[in-house]
Chain A
Amino acid sequence: MTGRCFARPAAVLSLAGLLALGCSRAPVTDASPWVAEAERRHALADQRLEAGDPTGARDALRAIVDARVPADLPADDRRGVLQDTYFRLARLDLDARDPRAALADADRGLALGRASDLFVANLLVVRGAAHEALGAGPAAMEDYHQALVINDRLLAETLGEPADGASSGPGARP
């Protein structure tokens, strides 16, 4: 019968398509290897700095920000790891007497998001230092001030005292 002759190959083709679709599902990514790799590269950067090799330290840190970040990592965790790395890169730039590069790295880090946490405060501090090195006093003061506001809030939380107008957690947004 023609219908049945056509139906069976059609069913096989449909099932093959279904299997192909099933196989095309993206594998579930795990953030742990990425975090472990970032941790390893920070340790490597520490070793390179102790060995007097800032270029090697910079390469190790640059690999963290250049790597593909797993999609299932919470946004704030991703931001924290990357902002901390940009802080270190900017500091290496300042040590290398390259405040423009420090400014660029600090800006890249701050572009990832703002929160009242340690990582953002560190980036504001290092950007203030870069502005200061470039002779941009008011911009430096503004960054130092913002960093100090966050620092004051974090200190109040650490010491268990409520800061004025402070939010409840270290990751609270301003």
Chain B
Amino acid sequence: MKPEDEAPSEEELREAAALAAALEPDAAARKDGGAAATPAPGDALETASLLRQTRTPLAVPPAHEPIAAAHVAPALDARRSRGRRRARVWLATSLVAPAAAAAWLLFATTLSRHAAPPAARLPPRPTAALLAAQAEATRGGGQAGAALAALDSKMRAYRRQYHEDLRRRGGAP
């Protein structure tokens, strides 16, 4: 390929003129004053033909319109039904996917809410002194108040141990 600033060669000028003549034969004839023009190369004619086709809109003669419509109608219908089907798939996907996720979430939430709480561990074993105070309180009678006070006093240490045990577990199994 030649650089752009270099003058075109004779051959290039001839090809350009042939292309121009193929595109606009009237203008070429006027320019040459009716003289016989240089025969255009094959590829120039093909290019010109393509360019002319792109410039002119496709025109169907009125008599051929029903035939063309009959040919085109099924393709258009198929295209329309494809579009409708795609829209339906869109709609179904965008509704079904979130709905399925919502249903699963609802199910999982309900399941976790109704799940049985974790099983408790056994409370710490009471000491013999605490149990002795409790047994004393079951005697009742005139000393019931004092025995209950002694039981309550002994319960303090056990209560602390019990609460500490519960906290250490954090309510978790």
Contacts and interface: CB of A to CB of B under 8 A. Distances in A.
B168 to A, nearest CB: 9
Interface string A104-131: 0000000000000111011001101100
A71 B167 contact: no
Given A70-B171, A74-B117, A122-B155, A31 B138 contact: no
A164 interface: no
Contacts of A18: 98, 101-102, 105
Most buried by A among B84, B127, B140, B149: B140
Interface in A12-51: 14-15, 17-18, 21-22, 24-26, 29-32, 34-36, 38-39, 42, 46
Contact of A3 (B87, B101, B102, B160): B87
Contacts of B68: none
Given A3-B84, A3-B90, A72-B117, A77 B171 contact: yes
Contacts, number: 174
Contacts of A24: 109
Nearest to B88: A3
Given A32-B170, A81-B166, A151 B138 contact: yes
Interface in B143-173: 144-145, 148-149, 151-152, 155-156, 158-160, 162-164, 166-167, 170-173
A interface: dominant SS? helix
Interface residues of B, number: 57
A60 B137 CA distance: 25
Contacts of A95: 145
5 contacts: A10-B95, A21-B105, A29-B171, A32-B167, A118-B158
Interface of B: 83-84, 86-88, 90-91, 94-95, 98-99, 101-102, 105-106, 109, 113, 117-123, 125-128, 130-131, 134-135, 137-141, 144-145, 148-149, 151-152, 155-156, 158-160, 162-164, 166-167, 170-173
